[in-house]
Amino acid sequence: MAGKSRDVRSLIKLLDQQIDVARRMRDALSAERRAMVSGDVDSLLSAVSRKMGLVAEMKELDQRRSEWLEAQGMGGSVLSDVAQAFPDVREALWERADRLKRELEDVASLSRANAEMLRQQLRVTRGTIDFLLSLSQVGFQYGQEGRLAGAHALGGRLVDREA
């Protein structure tokens, strides 16, 4: 079993790498959210780019973990099965599995929150586009200095600020 215990250390190393990638993904999602709130397009593009690279890294590590399980004759097993098979490193496996689970829960939560923020902004943007399109259908057009041409009754403004 000593040879197998040494080999299971490579799985523990993979789990540590997955935890690290999940932390970096959480940081990228936090940066993405800050960029969305502040309207900083350059930071947003940077965060999205980092996220894409981290997704690829996560997939690669997950593939390597699956390959490790296959090599041990444990294909399709979950970490609890592995922990039972390697009692001398059971605690280390449980600890890593718990940390990875918590990191991934944080990632999922941030991802959902960012997606909701994007959905809300998309609704606002669509509403603005629909509004502008409706103006073109009734003869309003933007003229000089951003004023609406055709809104003569209001002095070129859609809203009478003096009312």
Residue 150 inside a domain? The answer is no
pLDDT at 146: 65
Domain tally for the chain? 1
Kindly state the tokens that stand for 111.
């991802």
Q: Which domain holds residue 79?
A: 2-117
Residue 19 inside a domain? The answer is yes
Alpha-carbon span 123 to 145, nearest angstrom: 27
Residue 136 inside a domain? The answer is no
CATH number, position 98: 1.20.58.300
Per residue in 14-37, pLDDT (tens digit) is 999 999 999 999 999 999 999 999
User: How many CB atoms are closer than 10 A to CB 76?
Assistant: 8
pLDDT at 163: 45
Q: Which of 8-22, 64-78, 137-151 has the highest mean pLDDT?
A: 8-22
Residue 144 inside a domain? The answer is no
pLDDT at 2: 46
Residue 30 inside a domain? The answer is yes
Comparison of pLDDT for 62 and 141, the residue scoring more: 62
User: How many CB atoms are closer than 10 A to CB 72?
Assistant: 16
